[in-house]
Structure formats: C-alpha cells, structure tokens
Structure 1
C-alpha cells in the first residue's frame, strides 16, 4: 500500500470503531447486496419505538418534545439507531459521535425539567446531520482529502453554533466527493455512498451523504452546501426536499471548503429534509439567531412568513434548456408537475431561459479561476490520485490573470443584468408576470454509482451564477416500463454531450431513481419560494 492508502485505511478503522455494536443491526439480518431498494428495510429491522419516532417530521418532533411526549435523549437515540442502519446499507458516515450527541441531549432534557417545561429554542432536542465540511469542535473534517485527515476542528462553524443556540443536537457527519466538485459521493478515504432506492445508483453530490441519510430518515434534517447543485442534485436523486438559498442569507463562516474565498461563484449552505415544513422550521430557527451579527457576509433579513396571493399562480415551465435534453423520467416529472398545477387551476406555459449557453460558459470560468491549483495542491500533499470525477476542474484550465478576472466579473455582471431584465419582462400567454420558474434538476434520474455520468450541470449551476433561490420538490421515480429508451433527440446545442448523455440512458439501470424539480425565484426570495413550493407539492399530492 502507498502511504496515502495506509492513512486512509486507518481513518476507516477509526470510523468503524466509533460505531458501537449496540447500535448496529447484525450483518446476518441485513439484506443481500442483490436487494437494490432498501428504503423500507428500517421498518423491518428496527424496534417499533424507533420507527414511531423517526417516521415523524422534525416539525412534529420538536412539538412533541416541547409537549413532554418525548425526551431529546429518546429522539436522539432513535435517530442514532436508524442512521447506523442507513450507514450499514449505504455507506454514509464520515464522523460519528453519539456520546457527544447524547450528552447534549441530556443537557437539554435537564434544562427542560429544571425550567418547568421551557425549551432552549425552536429546534430543542432535534437531531440534525452535517455534511463533512461543517466543523464541530474536537471532530475531524477531512472533506474526502487524505492530506486533510487529522485536521481536528478547534471551533465550530458559525452555523453549527447558531443551531446549537436554537436547540439542535448534532451526532454525525456525512460523506462527500473529494474536493466537493462532483455530483457524485465518493472519495479515496471513505469510498462510495449509494442510493436508498437503488443501490447501483448514486445519491448525488456533493451533499450526497446528506441526501442518503435524510432519504432513509436517519436524520429529519441535514445540512449541505451548494456551489453548482450540491444541495439540489442530492435532493432530487434521493427523493427529498432541499433549498439552495441566495448567498448571504445563511451563515457560511468557518466552513471548510475547496476553492475557499473564490468569489467568482460563491458556495452557500442550506437544509435537506423529508418535508417542506422542516425546510421552513430550519430557516426560521436559523434566522431567529440573527446570523448577520455573527457572519459579516450575511444580510440582516429576518424570516418573514410569505402570504400567497389569492389568485391562481403563474408558472413558467422549462422542460429543456436547449443545450442538453433531459432523460425520459425527468421529462415525465416536468410534465407531471405542469399537469398537476394546471389541474389545480394555475396558469402554466412553456418557457425558455435567457442564453443558458452563455451562463454555462461563465460558470465553468468561475469554477476554474485558479486553473485547478487549489484542488491539485491538496491531492499532491498526500500523493492520492483523487477521483476521476473532479479532474475536469483540475486539468485543462489555466488560472486567470488579474485583468482576465476583471473581464470575467464584467461579463458575469452583464449577463446577470440581462437575465434579470429578461425575467422581469417575461409574460404568460394571458399577459401575466411569472410567479415561479420550474426547470429540471439535471439530465438524468440519478447516475450509476462510480461511473462519472452526470455530464452536464447547467440546470443547477446556472442558478449559482445568478444567485437565485431554488427549492427542490420530489415528484416521481423512474420506471423502465414507462420511461422507454429513445435515440438522442439531437435538439440540444451541445450535440456531443447530449448524445453521450442519452447513450447512458438504459431504462432498467435507472429503475426507482427519484426525480425532483426546481421551483425557482429571484435573489433572497427564500420565504416566497418555500410558500410556492408548498403549492406545487400539494398539487402533486392531490
């Protein structure tokens, strides 16, 4: 073994040792590797009291804890057990610290008892999972780099501190791709995380561990980050809800990162959850702690409930951006949403976004301003090869000079201005302005695990460049009996990528892969888009 392999193997042993047998389901009871859909396994293998707690939303649980129905220790223990089973099935964890979590839960229970039933805050006693890059004091944060192993956090990320103040309990950190710059979840330290609904598929990335744990209800809420789709892609691929907020709404201070301090396109953090109510719960709780007083990049904008107009809403539906046409399950999801909204009495119309090819080109320039030096340096520090997924961001680009960076900033601002003017001027056939823009999360319904086949990130990445708010709502699961194979449509502007993407589409390979859609608004419109996403969700459920 190379030295880096020895270090990685030792780290995996450390993780395995942190998972006590008292939390594990015996290996003999686990389903065979040939069982692909394991989403229902927890109900078959875990005690009834664990299922009763973990099947509830976070919103329901904080109310139950506040009412004295459950203690935080009971709730935390239940999620620890369910999360461990999820890890046994999907390979999710990077760091596991149940003793720390249970000590925190006991402190909350002691406070509740001594105060006569008062809670610490709106998240009192609720377990929340963290993407590996969030810092928890005393816990490692290697972020999939071998050279980062042993970087024990000396302090919490700001968002962790604020959520603790709101009453949260943290117990686990979850897997990511090396460097974060991939829509997959694998690295040379922890290996591959897979999808709960089809274990030959990936849960998305880079917040794929969060998508996986939330999809298995091993955590009611998980926190991810997004620089090109890293909350939204796992939300869609894992069949959960998620929100990509605008930059400056939620605190990002003291969060580990690749390409740190790159302002060409800025990473944001936000929640993934099993319900829209929990996205609202998280957002309200975090913003109640006034993050702008702790992170200078945050905007002083408290959470304000958005009141929807009483009239029917107007939805701009974009099935394809004209560059790469999505696969049949994704096109079916878009049609399903459009039909449901129309049936609910809302106005929907076909829509094309403004020059997406220009936005995509700018986005690639933004991701590669340093010519890949940052990522390559962290790989070279240990000698690890990294994973093929990230090599497009490391090889083939040169760093921008200062004049080139200034020119890029000018081009980006001009494009964002033109896009805003285009959206402001857009009207439905009846002459009404748009309430929300709906588009796919990506081309496929998930991707085969470890095969690097998410070839196009324009559907999510464009919104990072624009810094628009986007909420993902799950819609359906791929069905090879319905979503039949077809030749590449040949209508996309990038014929080569479209052709390869459609060659990847073998209906049976994507069986049961979840598909969500993006509900999109402008900058800093988190409350409005959560309210409109609820309209979409209700229409689908109806």
Structure 2
C-alpha cells in the first residue's frame, strides 16, 4: 500500500505508459527503453548463469559417478564387494599339509637308497612286470615315490594334498594288481576327485570339504592298478601359465626357482621333472603342454572324448566354447606312451559317458614312428615371435629331422583362419561370461592370478569405456592386435555366443580343408610350445595373452604333444638389442609380444628347458606319440658339427 501512495512510483508508471502509447502510434520498429534493456540483459545473464551452473553440476555429477564406477570396479576386481561367508584361514591348509609331511614314517625322509634309484629309473612297463611277478612289492614302490614327493616338494612346493598314508592302504587292498598299471604310483592335478580329500582348485571357498568317494577318474586309475600318492599345485582360476594361489603358495620351477614351472598343471611338471613317473593334468589353452615345456618333461594334449574328464572339478563349469581336456604327463616319452595306451585299453567309456569308444590303434603308432615323414613347420604364430632360445630349439629339431631323412617345410596357415584370428576367437569363447564364473569363487580379500586380474579389469569396463580404450590402442598406439583382443573381451549374450560358436565351427572346417589339400599332406606340424622359456613369477600380468602356440590347437581340438630339446644358454640365446627394438625388426610391435618378451633374459634363464610341440589332427593320439618318438630319435642321433647342438635331452639327476 505504501508503494501505491508513493508519487515517484506513479510518475515512473505514467512515463512508461506514455512511452507505450507513443510506441503504438509509431510506424516502424519499436524503440527499446532503458528499462526494457536492463530487464532483457538481466534475463540473458540469468540464463547464462543457469546454463553454466547446469554444465558444472553435470560435470560434477559425471565425475562423481565415474569415480564411483571406478572404485566399484576396483573393489570388485579385488573381491571386496562380495558378501562375506565363512572363509578358511589362508594358512590352514598349509599347516595341515606340513603336519602330514611331518607325520610320515622316517623312511619317507631318508636319502635315496640304491634300491630307490633302481626303482625310479625303471620304465613303468618294467615296474608293472616286476610287481605282477612278485619281484617288487607295491608298498616298496610307493614308498620310493613317496620319497620323491617329499624331496620335490621341499624344493618346489609342488604338492597340495599328500595322499599318504592312505595310499599305503590303497596299494594293499583297493588297487587291481592285475591291471596294466599295477603298483605304479601316480600324481594328480589338484582338481581330481579322491575320497577323503578336498578339491580346492586353489580357492579357500573349497577348502576343508573332503569328498566321500572317488570320482570316475580315480576309480579307473585304481582299477588299472595305479596308486594315487599326491595331488599337485595349480593356479587359482586355472587360467594361467603360473601355479600359485593364496591357499598353497607359489610352485617353483625345478631348474631355476625364480621362474614358474608352468600352468595350470605346474605342480605336475615340477614333480615329474624331479623324479615322479606319471601324472594327469588338464588343458584348456596349454595347461599340460606349457608345464611340460617349462619343466622339461613330456605331455600329450588329447582330443576331446579320447580321455576321461568326469570326476574332476574346474573353475568354469559349463564352459564348452573351448573344452578343457584331461591328459597324461610323464617323465619320459616311453612312459607317456605306455600310460596313454593303458588308460585307453581300460575302456574309459565304461567309466565316463563323454569318452568315445575308440580302442588303441597299435598299427598307427608303429607306422608313424617308422616312416619318412613330411612335416609342416610353423615357426612363428604371427603374434609373438619365438625368443632366441626357443628359435634355437626349433631350428635344432628341424636340422635333426632333416638329417634323419625327413622333409620339413614352412607352412602358410589358411588366410581365413590364421593363427591370430584363432587366438581372438578362442579368447572370446573361453571368457564369454566376462570372467564372472572363475571370480565368483573368490572370497573377499582373496587375491586372484595376475593374468586373470588383467583380463577381469578389461572385461569389467563398461562397454563405452572399453570401446574408447580400444580406439586409443588401435588408432593412437597403432596396435591392431592388442586392440582387437580388447574389443573382443567382455560378457556375451546368448546370441553372441551362438555366433562365436558358429565361427569356431567354420574355423575348424577351414583348417580341415586346408590340411586335406594335396599340397598340405603333412604328417604333423612342428612348432614352439610358447614364445619364451619359463617366465618369472607374476609375469602373467604382462604375458597372459601370449598363448597362441598352444591355444590354437585347443580351438581346433587337435592332438598335440610336447618333448624337451635343450636348455637356455646365456651366450647363444642372448638378445641382439633391447627387446622392443628386436620385435620391431621382426614386425611384431604389439602389446602381446611386448608382454612376453619384456621378461626374456637369457643370462637369468640359463638352464631352463626348451621344447617343441608336435601337432596331429583330431583323435590321432597314437600317431602323435609315434611322431614324437621319431623326433626324439632324430634329436638323439643328431649333433651339429659346428655348434654341437643335438643329442639326448638330460633329465634332472636325483640328489
């Protein structure tokens, strides 16, 4: 009311109305007033401030959300967001294991006797003969190999579950001493089901949950006469060429302890290298072949359906895009062949519905071993070139085979199904769940494998961020191979998985046609097992994707065997310059190659084994073992007149 009585207000109002009346009578545009100018400018400034404030608020919210997402992803990768359940103390199983070793009879801790050494040096075929003819007591054989396990474990931490003294009872009552493996002690990857013992897979979640009965694999072995005496080390997740976990610790290489024995069946590799005789492992990307190569033993990756797989556990149950297979490992090729033949002769299809009823074909093994061979050489997978030590092992093998009268020529894989395409496709199939399953078994604060962690971080990135990462690697770093792998990582829908499965079948069909072509009538393919010798512990963070030389054959489901050739030499195998410079000269400037080669040091690696891989077609176990025998014979008879390369591979001598 005071405003209404104010003369100044009415004066201003009258003036404004007068101006409005004048504006109405004017022809042409309205003339702004000082009052309207101020009002319009104020509105503009207000809108500008509102817009700027909106942008700032949006940016702040976006930064907060991004920070929360990053923290959640980081916590998730560290397994800190999982609901806490009852977890076994990290050191409980180690204490139990130590108590088992300490409670063994004094004989198990005694030095090797002359009788022990004689038993250890006998091929298993001879052991079986002597056990069945009462020349050897099964208990004496078991106690000798119990000593082997004790001494090997002291050096490498290779045993998870010591199956003694229970194995003594099995040797005297449960095993079939008329079987083809009568009285032969056998070590098993930790994932095999044995009554009275856990299958931890390196996870605390599965500790202290012993099984009440043997699985089909263990039943078959006991019916064959074998005596399980130890379960051996593997990595948590089972997706690593390392063999370490928080539950059991690191398994060490039997030649150079600062390095990995391989994985995921690394404990078997270490135990067999140090005197064990035969063992069983699993292989989804190279897990029985890399330990054989890095520890200096022999192994055979069987095709699916040729070797039993029921009665074992895995970190990724239901994953069949690239199927895991259980396969034999041995200290010698002779034992590997006899062992494989014995298991197939037991008609494993009567124990396991997944095994095809294919009897042992003796004639194929003999023919493969006793003819002049045509061999295809894959010296480079096109992603990670072999390091000098591995290249030397391959070239020595080629020279030995050529000197023995065999024909070796470099192959060109089919263009539509090259090795890198295989690596990319296999990686997507194997981790099509986005790394969810193998991480789901980890308790809060339980560390994972460094390589699996690397894959998990990439898979957990939101799709837009992962695509931006791909663009940066592809177009800024100009690394097409690593970028392609990054883009393929991440969880897949059912439709996407079906599409990948169709691509896998087309990939297999292409290779089948390629090998059938007249110009490619090779008996087998010779190639490296891995681009490097054994890598240092925890190196899988960088080298997790350097698995193309083995993973390709899993994707194709081909039979592949590994045999040792030589050892790393500090001088012969030294790099000619910085590893990135050498890789650039080789045309391999990509992150996968960098991750493997950055750990290569011939001086530090001196004494580590080097090996080659012999690859046959599907369900050709007999032929591949025969080819391996031909390769081994050629190497034993060969000696380079200049370098002295060749000769019989020397196994580790027992203390």
Question: Is the pair's TM-score, using the shorter chain for normalization, greater than 0.5?
Answer: yes
**Matched positions, count:** 511
| Pairing 1:202–2:260 present | yes
1:70-469 aligned within 5 A: 70-107=136-173, 119-217=177-275, 219-305=276-362, 306=364, 307-308=366-367, 311-354=371-414, 355-379=418-442, 381-397=443-459, 398-425=490-517, 427=519, 433-452=521-540, 454-455=543-544, 456-469=546-559
2:187, 2:231 within 8 Å by CA — same for their partners in 1? yes
2:574, 2:603 within 8 Å by CA — same for their partners in 1? no
Moved more, 487-496 or 244-253: 487-496
**CA distance, structure 2, for counterparts of residue 418 and residue 512 of structure 1:** 40
1:23, 1:84 within 8 Å by CA — same for their partners in 2? no
Partner of 2:5 in structure 1? Answer: none
Moved more, 9-18 or 47-56: 47-56
Partner of 2:121 in structure 1? Answer: 55
| SS class of match (2:102) | coil
Moved more, 280-289 or 8-17: 280-289
1:480, 1:511 within 8 Å by CA — same for their partners in 2? yes
Do the aligned partners of residues 3 and 377 (structure 1) sit closer, same or farther apart at CA in structure 2, a change above 3 Å counting?
A: closer
**CA distance, structure 1, for counterparts of residue 491 and residue 104 of structure 2:** 51
**CA distance, structure 1, for counterparts of residue 340 and residue 108 of structure 2:** 38
1:500-511 aligned within 5 A: 500-511=595-606
Do the aligned partners of residues 297 and 393 (structure 1) sit closer, same or farther apart at CA in structure 2, a change above 3 Å counting?
A: farther
Partner of 1:517 in structure 2? Answer: 612
Please list every run of 5 or more consecutive structure 1 residues that lacks an aligned counterpart in the other structure. Answer: 28-41, 112-118
Deviations 1:339-367 (A, max 9, x none): 01011111111223331111000011011
Moved more, 495-504 or 91-100: 495-504
* TM-fit CA distance, 1:154: 2.8
* TM-fit CA distance, 1:22: 5.0
Deviations 1:498-533 (A, max 9, x none): 234333221112111111111111100000111111
Deviations 1:431-481 (A, max 9, x none): xx2011011000111111233254400100111100000011111111112
Please list every run of 5 or more consecutive structure 2 residues that lacks an aligned counterpart in the other structure. Answer: 1-83, 460-489, 638-655
Do the aligned partners of residues 288 and 507 (structure 1) sit closer, same or farther apart at CA in structure 2, a change above 3 Å counting?
A: same
1:23, 1:81 within 8 Å by CA — same for their partners in 2? no
1:24, 1:85 within 8 Å by CA — same for their partners in 2? no
| SS class of match (1:122) | coil
1:322, 1:492 within 8 Å by CA — same for their partners in 2? no
**CA distance, structure 2, for counterparts of residue 316 and residue 426 of structure 1:** 13
Do the aligned partners of residues 482 and 4 (structure 1) sit closer, same or farther apart at CA in structure 2, a change above 3 Å counting?
A: farther
Moved more, 225-234 or 268-277: 268-277
**CA distance, structure 2, for counterparts of residue 410 and residue 151 of structure 1:** 39
| SS class of match (2:93) | helix
* TM-fit CA distance, 1:108: 7.0
Moved more, 176-185 or 388-397: 388-397
Do the aligned partners of residues 386 and 335 (structure 1) sit closer, same or farther apart at CA in structure 2, a change above 3 Å counting?
A: same
| Pairing 1:69–2:129 present | no
TM-score with structure 1 setting the length:
0.90
**CA distance, structure 1, for counterparts of residue 398 and residue 392 of structure 2:** 10
1:50, 1:82 within 8 Å by CA — same for their partners in 2? no
2:539, 2:599 within 8 Å by CA — same for their partners in 1? no
Deviations 1:263-298 (A, max 9, x none): 111000111101122122222221222122232221
TM-score with structure 2 setting the length:
0.75
**CA distance, structure 2, for counterparts of residue 176 and residue 426 of structure 1:** 43
**CA distance, structure 2, for counterparts of residue 492 and residue 209 of structure 1:** 36
Deviations 1:299-357 (A, max 9, x none): 11011112316641111111111211011110001001100101111111122333111
* TM-fit CA distance, 1:210: 0.3
Structure 1's consecutive aligned runs of 4 or more residues displaced over 6 angstroms after TM superposition are 2-6, 24-27
Bigger radius of gyration: 2
| SS class of match (1:98) | coil
